């Protein structure tokens, strides 16, 4: 390959890469919208069929507040007294 051919190949690859970078967000958005549409359709079909929706999965961890929450609650409960 000559130098001109290599430059042309690099130019085509860069152009193709830029095209992919510009089109990729649109493709991701279309796929996401189709997934959401499918979930909505399934939920409507379940509602029309009289089925109860599947319960959401909950975490097995307890919901104990963190140390930062305890500290913030203590700070909020103090009232400023003006003299």
Q: What is the pTM of this model?
A: 0.49
How do residues 4-63 score in pLDDT, each as one tens digit?
999 999 999 999 999 999 999 999 999 999 999 999 999 999 888 876 666 767 666 666
Amino acid 15: pLDDT: 98
How far apart are the C-alpha atoms of 81 and 3, rounded to whole Å?
Answer: 81
Amino acid 37: pLDDT: 96
Amino acid 1: pLDDT: 84
How do residues 62-75 score in pLDDT, each as one tens digit?
666 666 665 666 66
């Amino acid at each position: 390959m000559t130098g001109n051919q290599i430059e042309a190949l690099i130019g085509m690859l860069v152009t193709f890469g830029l095209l992919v970078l510009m089109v990729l967000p649109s493709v991701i958005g279309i796929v996401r919208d189709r997934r959401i549409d499918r979930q909505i359709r399934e939920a409507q079909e379940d509602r029309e069929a009289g089925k109860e929706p599947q319960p959401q999965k909950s975490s097995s961890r307890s919901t104990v507040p963190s140390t930062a929450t305890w500290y913030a609650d203590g700070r909020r409960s103090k009232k400023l007294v003006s003299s």
